[in-house]
Amino acid sequence: MMRRLLLAAAAVLALGAAGPARAETVINLTEVITSPQRTELLRSLLDKFEAANPGIKVKITSLPWGQAFEKLATMVQGGEIPDVVEMPERWVSLYGTSGQLESLEPWLAKWEGKGELSERVLQYGSVVGGTPYMIPYGFYIRAMFWNKKLFKEAGLDHAPLTIDEFVEASRKISALGEGKTGYCLRGGTGSANGYTMFMLAMNGSGDYFDRNGNSTFNQPGAIKGLQILADMHKEGLVPRDSVNWGFNEIVAGFYSGTCAMLDQDPDALIAIKERMNPADFAVAPMPLGPAGKAFPTLGYAGWAMFKAAKDKEASWKLIAFLSSPESNLAWSKFVGVVPIHKRSQEDPFFDSEQFKGWFTELNDKHWEPTPVPAYLPEYGYWADSIAVQTGQELLLGQRTAEDVATEWASYFTEAQKKWQAAHPKP
């Protein structure tokens, strides 16, 4: 009996000498623009992060893009708040102005990788009050994919330079019959950018507001931009069921030959290059409006930290790792975005013919890549809910272009003037 007591005491002393077991840090990361392949790549990067940071584990929660806005909001409201989140530019103001995001300023100040970032990264990561609430992981810029084979069948030998040429090319290709149409219209989730580009191009200006804070969406040119898309759907120059199409459907519509043109970001190259001969398609800049200008949307997403993060130092380590040149280059190539580091953009992968349309837009004065007004907290709800529903009503002939444009303009004017009142000029 005495021997067993002595052995037990010795065991307790040994445990005490070793100290308490070190608790493992778990970072909850939520991604919102998801696909199985994309998640697999993210997981492989996180495995490298965990190997370099013993004691830190990262758990991924993947939200389907179509429901991500509502699902993330429900998670946050219910207290199930991620530590790190993939933050689209359209949501950063909603969470930033409500005080829910951690400012990355003190972390960036100490990070040796800051100097490698391009100027746009810091600029667009700080659209809310000049505070860097996120580090973009790349930029999505719309350009026009075109199917060379279908164009040739229709007697066309070049991509449309203007919106008039774009509509006429769509008409000639649709006349081929057999279910072929001109344009892969996106009428479902994610349709907002398509509407916006046609409205701005036909209006001849990339300004969302006039100097008094009134939205330009109800100006005559903008209404014409909406009317063009409504007429194309009515005339059958786009697939009839495209009123419900999202990203996957429009990309599939292009590589299957259902429609000959597709406006998309570089991420569409992933699926298209797998299924089409590179000689059969090309990427041209967006067609120009009557003023000789086009305003392709400049979108982005990135990594942000919630203020409620349990271990902010570990969360920052993760963001810094994902934003490093090596990680970001691998991510950019797979996801299809223009990378964030100055040197990475010189990589042979991006210096290719397939990226010509996007780089023309970046370097030619006729094209002005235009960011959405993501600084408005109300923008995300418009883009992910209002624009989809009312845009579908337009395409189905249930409402006029003027009616829809007027509603959108009223919504944005109210949001802009509210923002201006809260941020008076000095």
pLDDT greater at residue 21 or residue 92? 92
Confidence category of residue 140, pLDDT binned at 50, 70, 90:
confident
User: CA torsion angle for 387, 390, 395, 396 (degrees, to 10)?
Assistant: 150
Per-residue pLDDT, 424: 83
Enter the pTM of the model.
0.74
User: The dihedral of CA 312, 315, 319, 321: what is its sign?
Assistant: positive
Task: Return the structure tokens found at 343.
Answer: 């040197």
Per-residue pLDDT, 10: 42
Q: Which domains does the chain have, with CATH numbers?
A: 25-141+300-354 (3.40.190.10), 143-295+365-422 (3.40.190.10)
Per-residue pLDDT, 119: 78
Res. 378: pLDDT tops 50: yes
The pairing of beta strand 297-305 with beta strand 134-141: antiparallel
Res. 21: pLDDT tops 80: no
Per-residue pLDDT, 12: 38
Q: What is the mean pLDDT of residues 247-272?
A: 94
Nearest partner of 186 among 263, 281, 258, 286, judged by Cα: 263
Res. 410: pLDDT tops 60: yes
CA atoms within 13 A on the CB side of 389: 7
What is the SS3 assignment for the chain?
CHHHHHHHHHHHHHHHHHCCCCCCEEEEEEECCCCHHHHHHHHHHHHHHHHHCCCEEEEEEECCHHHHHHHHHHHHHCCCCCCEEEEECCCHHHHHHCCCECCCHHHHHHCHHHHHECHHHHHHCCCECCECCEEEEEEEECEEEEEHHHHHHCCCCCCCCEHHHHHHHHHHHHCCCCCCEEECCCCCCCCHHHHHHHHHHHHCCCCCECCCCCECCCCHHHHHHHHHHHHHHHHCCCCHHHHHCCHHHHHHHHHCCCEEEEEECHHHHHHHHHHCCHHHEEEECCCECCCCCECCEEEEEEEEEECCCCCHHHHHHHHHHHCCHHHHHHHHHHHCCECCECCHHHCCCCCCHHHHHHHHHHHCCCECCEECCCCCCCHHHHHHHHHHHHHHHHHCCCCCHHHHHHHHHHHHHHHHHHHHHHCCCC
Per-residue pLDDT, 426: 60
CA distance 91 to 375: 9
CA distance 39 to 43: 6
Per-residue pLDDT, 335: 86
Over pLDDT 90: what percentage of the chain? Answer: 76
Q: What is the mean pLDDT of residues 346-363?
A: 79
Task: Report yes or no: 89 and 124 within 8 Å, Cβ to Cβ.
Answer: yes
Q: What is the mean pLDDT of residues 22-28?
A: 84
pLDDT tens digits for 171-220? 999 999 999 999 999 999 999 999 999 999 999 999 999 999 999 999 99
Res. 156: pLDDT tops 70: yes
Polymer length of the chain: 426
Mean pLDDT value across the chain: 91
Res. 323: pLDDT tops 50: yes
Is 163 exposed, middle or buried, given 0-12, 13-18 or 19+ CB atoms closer than 10 A? buried
CA distance 107 to 86: 18
Task: Report yes or no: 170 and 263 within 8 Å, Cβ to Cβ.
Answer: no
pLDDT tens digits for 208-237? 999 999 999 999 999 999 999 999 999 999
Confidence category of residue 351, pLDDT binned at 50, 70, 90:
low
Per-residue pLDDT, 4: 44
Q: 């203020």: which residue's tokens?
A: 307
Confidence category of residue 23, pLDDT binned at 50, 70, 90:
low
Res. 28: pLDDT tops 70: yes
pLDDT tens digits for 284-300? 999 999 999 999 998 89
Res. 15: pLDDT tops 50: no
Residues in contact with 85: Cβ distance below 8 Å, sequence separation at least 6, in sequence order = 29, 30, 32, 72, 303, 304, 305, 306
- Of the candidate ranges 24-28, 317-321, 349-353, the one whose mean pLDDT is the lowest: 349-353
Per-residue pLDDT, 175: 98
pLDDT greater at residue 351 or residue 84? 84
